[in-house]
Structure 1
Amino acid sequence: MVKNAWLMLVLLLVFPAQAVPTDEITKVITEQQDAWNRADLDAYMQGYWHNDKVRFVSGNKFRYGWEETLAAYKKNYPDKATLGTLKFTINEIKMLSNYAALVVGRWELTRAKDQPSGVFTLLVEKIDDKWVITHDHTSD
């Protein structure tokens, strides 16, 4: 019994516990939700891979590129009224590897005139030691 306790202590010292990737991924999405609700689209976009290859699929359209997507968000959501209040609900995070995960969930906007909602599927990858969304498929 004492040998097992020492072995566990040595293993913990040699291989310290690390954050569970799903917690880190959830944090990225929660930070996006919070940024949206502050009407800070620049901060919202920090959850995405800042690269021309980031891909967005929505409304029967494909969009590539971080800058283009930020510009589209700013055009389509010019003020707090159009942004509304965003709520993400994560249904599942499936780890594909140590560096990639598939996230499936729902989104809801609450605005004065309407309450649009839909679903999303995200490919989230660990790039340069940071979890970022590299592919976003969102629909109504």
Structure 2
Amino acid sequence: MIKKGLSLLLLLLAFDVAAGPDDEIAGLLTSQQAAWNRGDLDAYMQGYWHDPKLRFVSKGQFRYGWEEMLARYKAHYPDRTTQGELKFSQLDIRLLGKDVALVVGRWELARIKDKPSGAFTLLIEKLDDRWVITHDHSSD
């Protein structure tokens, strides 16, 4: 009887600890925010699909490719002062299928001279058994 009870308890704990897609996606964004805030753009970019078809839309411009996106981030945010502290908020994660989600939220940079902010929409897909951003549309 004790062995059965212990097995049932372990099974319930396993279900409680197992992260669902929403948790995994939120974890991806939390990891990105932490990487940005320590000034590590290379780690920040690990949340994106490392592929030439990655799409980024900002200020009315369509850009493609992981390499181009990383180069633009490094050009626009060359140091910790320009990077500031990133904060994501108002996250709304909607699963569109087993391996695809739409995420809408707000971003804000706290810097010494200003505090730019805006909204974003992300298409996040599970590719090769991990969630990655395949499309990013950010606005001011």
Same fold (TM over 0.5): yes
The unaligned stretches of length 5 or more in structure 1 are 1-8
Deviation (angstroms), 1:43 = 0.1
SS in 1 for 2:135: strand
Taking the aligned partners of 2:89 and 2:117, their CA distance within structure 1 comes to 11
Taking the aligned partners of 2:112 and 2:130, their CA distance within structure 1 comes to 36
Deviation (angstroms), 1:90 = 3.9
Map of 2:79 onto structure 1: 79
Q: Please tell me the root mean square deviation across aligned C-alpha atoms, in Å.
A: 1.7
Deviation (angstroms), 1:65 = 0.2
Amino acid at match of 2:71: A
Amino acid at match of 2:130: K
Query: What number of residue pairs does the alignment pair up?
Result: 130
Amino acid at match of 2:44: Y
Map of 1:43 onto structure 2: 43
Percent identity over the alignment is 66
Taking the aligned partners of 1:59 and 1:68, their CA distance within structure 2 comes to 16
TM-score when scaled to structure 1? 0.88
Map of 1:56 onto structure 2: 56
Deviation (angstroms), 1:89 = 1.1
The unaligned stretches of length 5 or more in structure 2 are 1-7
Taking the aligned partners of 1:28 and 1:91, their CA distance within structure 2 comes to 12
**How do 1:102-113 and structure 2 match up within 5 A?**
102-113=102-113
Does residue 32 (structure 1) correspond to residue 42 (structure 2)? The answer is: no
Map of 1:69 onto structure 2: 69
Amino acid at match of 2:103: V
Amino acid at match of 1:65: G
Structure 1 runs (4+) greater than 4 angstroms displaced: none
Deviation (angstroms), 1:22 = 0.3
Taking the aligned partners of 1:123 and 1:23, their CA distance within structure 2 comes to 16
Amino acid at match of 1:43: A
Q: 1:41 and 1:59, CA in 2 relative to 1: closer, same or farther beyond 3 A?
A: same
